Chains A and B, each alone.
Chain A
């Protein structure tokens, strides 16, 4: 593409604007980092934007880890567990459903897809309380399953998978496979899934983040604090702090530690964010 751009100047204004935007997005995390370096006693008595370089942060991490027998790290593990398992299973469910709807004609196909589309428009969060009430009748509340199962259904993921399957798995390939005598199931998991691979990773990441960020469902569903994810755990710490001193440092340190792993995950998985899927769906 040989094109002469009209000047070789660096675009200062757009760059500056973007940098401002980036600063706005980074400042809270930066501030939490600074606040976490302050010891309990210093938190409310020193200038807020100057970090302390003493043993503050280490002591805070120790305090957080010993609070109630290290329950913070249990929360971290729970969040990862819910998000990882939920993300993988939800992606597979979405993949299967999307593939089935895209590439097969069967009775009820339209109905199923339209119902799923309607679910995309439904604010999932509003279902959390009725789900709790229903699950309490079968004794599934306060269990890991009670938090996982409702989050395995991802209507938007199914929608994306359908689009992706339709565009990346050519019927001709399937036909060729059938002529060769392959069973439908074999076609699905050797041809279909592989071709849908990159899109599936995006669907997985979307659902991972959605589960990682979810608050209301586990908040309502879970009573034992050992099963809390990070969102509910840190919120409960904040609420406890309203009746007991000195938990604020723990909340701040916990907030910092909870943000780091996902940022790291993000940075390393950058190239898998195929969000053209989202807009491609509109064509």
Chain B
């Protein structure tokens, strides 16, 4: 009998011994020794940028890991934090930042970034600064823009629309002349896309007037205006129902069955991977406006580089985060390899941005256009503390609505109710 317990005890002891094998958090370095930091990031080719740092900083070594992307990374960070083995640095999308702050996963780095924040305008900083404290260094900003196929437009006599009414008309014209070509695709799988459109439409999904109570307005009139507009296009059959990047969408892009793509400024590099044969056939224009002359646009994603509360070397981690997003060499490498549009003001004037991206040789003033649009890109006042619930609600409800041809407005109501219920369950005050 005793031997049984002895064996169990030995097993447990052994298990505890190998706790050291548990990966993740930074090692404690001997005083003056090498510091090792782990960095979670899903940008393709980020390893090339990290290499530049590692070569220049032999005493602070950054190891890149790519466990998951976007939403999935957020949940991994929360569970890793609860297990105590999170990374030192992590890429966090702006919409996920409040949830991580609320769960105390992301650290306050105000003291390390006094100089860094000078390189960002206030609108951008709003996404990472709460209650006067800085929780991340903004990496990129992706204003929504309209990418269109110049050859398809020429073929069917279309002009880049400047208002949503013109867009609807152009879609109808295209559908009449070439029913197999869709004007664009409605993406029910990427909430970042729809929130960008909602932002442009004037919706403000989360806000707070007194910094204590939340106002949640997912099904506001402005949101429903946007939803109804797109419902019209889907019902008329002028837009495709496939999510961007899906295999079906890939095929349509390759075969010229999609005329435009509403996307962020990082689109050119992606297009190069999706449909390499269409090089030189694309151009970018500002997103169609709700009223003529209005320059507002929304944002599709964008993230910040954050330091986690688990990190044992917050100062060095913050140093890396600042370097990554303000240093000229780092930003140039990012633009070159990852095709991000930098959030840093200085980054927007880098020499590399004076020539168009490789995939758009026909549009020399590409980055000038982006630079013009960027200042009028607006986001929500705040992102809620449980954005994952809202976002998975979006993919489920809008996916079902597309599948069953039911109302988008009702889907918005469902998402509103689910979000508010979840916030109340967590103990937040919702007004």
Asked if B19 and A138 make an inter-chain contact with CB atoms under 8 angstroms apart, the answer reads yes
Known: A138-B16, A223-B76, A245-B273. A44 touches B22 (CB 8 A): no
In residues 7-64 of chain B, which contact A (Cβ within 8 Å)?
15-16, 18-19, 21-24, 42, 44, 47
Give chain A residues whose Cβ lies under 8 Å from the Cβ of B274.
245-246
In residues 249-273 of chain A, which contact B (Cβ within 8 Å)?
none
Chain A nearest CB from B74 CB (Å) reads 12
Give chain A residues whose Cβ lies under 8 Å from the Cβ of B76.
223
Give chain B residues whose Cβ lies under 8 Å from the Cβ of A136.
79, 82-84
Number of A-B contacts defined by CB within 8 Å: 109
Chain A nearest CB from B70 CB (Å) reads 7
Tell me if A225 is interfacial: C-beta within 8 Å of chain B: yes
Query: Which of these, B18, B24, B68, contacts A142 with CB under 8 Å?
Result: B24
Tell me if A140 is interfacial: C-beta within 8 Å of chain B: yes
Tell me if A167 is interfacial: C-beta within 8 Å of chain B: no
Known: A141-B85, A223-B76. A242 touches B22 (CB 8 A): no
A10-33 Cβ-contact flags toward B at 8 Å (1 or 0): 000000000000000000000000
Give chain B residues whose Cβ lies under 8 Å from the Cβ of A145.
15, 18, 21
Tell me if A171 is interfacial: C-beta within 8 Å of chain B: no
Asked if B255 and A142 make an inter-chain contact with CB atoms under 8 angstroms apart, the answer reads no
Tell me if B144 is interfacial: C-beta within 8 Å of chain A: no
Give chain A residues whose Cβ lies under 8 Å from the Cβ of B66.
68, 225, 240
Asked if B15 and A138 make an inter-chain contact with CB atoms under 8 angstroms apart, the answer reads yes
Asked if B243 and A242 make an inter-chain contact with CB atoms under 8 angstroms apart, the answer reads yes
Cα-based distance from A137 to B82 in the complex (angstroms)? 8
Binds A, one of B102-110, B217-225, B230-238, B246-254: B246-254
Query: Which of these, B15, B67, B243, contacts A225 with CB under 8 Å?
Result: B67
Tell me if B150 is interfacial: C-beta within 8 Å of chain A: no
Cα-based distance from A68 to B271 in the complex (angstroms)? 21
Q: State how many residues of chain B have any CB contact under 8 Å with chain A.
A: 42
Smallest CB gap from B82: residue in A: A136
Tell me if B69 is interfacial: C-beta within 8 Å of chain A: yes
Tell me if A241 is interfacial: C-beta within 8 Å of chain B: yes
Asked if A242 and B246 make an inter-chain contact with CB atoms under 8 angstroms apart, the answer reads yes
In residues 131-171 of chain A, which contact B (Cβ within 8 Å)?
132, 135-146, 149
Asked if B18 and A248 make an inter-chain contact with CB atoms under 8 angstroms apart, the answer reads no
Give chain A residues whose Cβ lies under 8 Å from the Cβ of B83.
135-137, 139, 141-142
B178-217 Cβ-contact flags toward A at 8 Å (1 or 0): 0000000000011000000000000000000000000000
Asked if A224 and B250 make an inter-chain contact with CB atoms under 8 angstroms apart, the answer reads no
Cα-based distance from A143 to B82 in the complex (angstroms)? 16
A215-231 Cβ-contact flags toward B at 8 Å (1 or 0): 00000001111110000
Cα-based distance from A140 to B84 in the complex (angstroms)? 10
In residues 63-98 of chain B, which contact A (Cβ within 8 Å)?
65-70, 72, 76, 79-80, 82-85
Chain A nearest CB from B71 CB (Å) reads 10
Give chain B residues whose Cβ lies under 8 Å from the Cβ of A132.
79
In residues 116-144 of chain A, which contact B (Cβ within 8 Å)?
132, 135-144
Known: A145-B15, A225-B67, A239-B72. A139 touches B22 (CB 8 A): yes
Smallest CB gap from B72: residue in A: A239
Give chain B residues whose Cβ lies under 8 Å from the Cβ of A142.
22-24, 80, 83, 85
Asked if A245 and B245 make an inter-chain contact with CB atoms under 8 angstroms apart, the answer reads yes
Asked if B85 and A244 make an inter-chain contact with CB atoms under 8 angstroms apart, the answer reads no
Give chain A residues whose Cβ lies under 8 Å from the Cβ of B22.
139-143, 146
Cα-based distance from A102 to B21 in the complex (angstroms)? 37
Asked if B250 and A248 make an inter-chain contact with CB atoms under 8 angstroms apart, the answer reads yes
Asked if A240 and B69 make an inter-chain contact with CB atoms under 8 angstroms apart, the answer reads yes
Give chain A residues whose Cβ lies under 8 Å from the Cβ of B189.
242
Tell me if B270 is interfacial: C-beta within 8 Å of chain A: yes
Asked if B69 and A239 make an inter-chain contact with CB atoms under 8 angstroms apart, the answer reads yes
Tell me if A236 is interfacial: C-beta within 8 Å of chain B: yes
Smallest CB gap from A135: residue in B: B83
Asked if A244 and B23 make an inter-chain contact with CB atoms under 8 angstroms apart, the answer reads no
Chain B nearest CB from A89 CB (Å) reads 12
Smallest CB gap from A243: residue in B: B69
Query: Which of these, B19, B72, B82, B254, contacts A44 with CB under 8 Å?
Result: B254
Give chain A residues whose Cβ lies under 8 Å from the Cβ of B271.
245
Tell me if B276 is interfacial: C-beta within 8 Å of chain A: yes
Asked if B18 and A245 make an inter-chain contact with CB atoms under 8 angstroms apart, the answer reads no
Give chain A residues whose Cβ lies under 8 Å from the Cβ of B82.
136
Cα-based distance from A64 to B245 in the complex (angstroms)? 19
Tell me if A41 is interfacial: C-beta within 8 Å of chain B: yes
Smallest CB gap from B43: residue in A: A244
Find the residue from B47, B247, B250, B277 having the highest chain A CB count within 10 A.
B250
Give chain A residues whose Cβ lies under 8 Å from the Cβ of B245.
241-245
Asked if A227 and B243 make an inter-chain contact with CB atoms under 8 angstroms apart, the answer reads no
Asked if B24 and A68 make an inter-chain contact with CB atoms under 8 angstroms apart, the answer reads no
Asked if A244 and B44 make an inter-chain contact with CB atoms under 8 angstroms apart, the answer reads yes
Asked if A139 and B65 make an inter-chain contact with CB atoms under 8 angstroms apart, the answer reads no
Asked if A244 and B15 make an inter-chain contact with CB atoms under 8 angstroms apart, the answer reads no
Chain A nearest CB from B156 CB (Å) reads 22
Cα-based distance from A144 to B277 in the complex (angstroms)? 43
Give chain B residues whose Cβ lies under 8 Å from the Cβ of A69.
47
Tell me if A4 is interfacial: C-beta within 8 Å of chain B: no
Give chain B residues whose Cβ lies under 8 Å from the Cβ of A7.
none
Cα-based distance from A194 to B260 in the complex (angstroms)? 69
Smallest CB gap from B38: residue in A: A224
Give chain A residues whose Cβ lies under 8 Å from the Cβ of B79.
132, 136, 141
Chain B nearest CB from A55 CB (Å) reads 16
Asked if B70 and A243 make an inter-chain contact with CB atoms under 8 angstroms apart, the answer reads yes
> Residues of B with Cβ closer than 8 Å to A?
15-16, 18-19, 21-24, 42, 44, 47, 65-70, 72, 76, 79-80, 82-85, 189-190, 243, 245-247, 250-251, 254-255, 270-274, 276-277
- The 4 closest A-B CB pairs, nearest first, are A245-B273, A136-B83, A246-B273, A44-B251
Taking A140-B19, A142-B24 as given, write out 15 further A-B residue pairs in contact, using a Cβ cutoff of 8 Å, ordered by the A residue number. A41-B276, A136-B79, A136-B83, A138-B15, A138-B16, A141-B80, A141-B83, A142-B22, A142-B83, A146-B22, A149-B15, A241-B245, A242-B246, A243-B190, A245-B274
Q: What are 5 A-B contacts with C-beta separation under 8 Å?
A: A44-B254, A135-B83, A223-B76, A245-B250, A246-B274
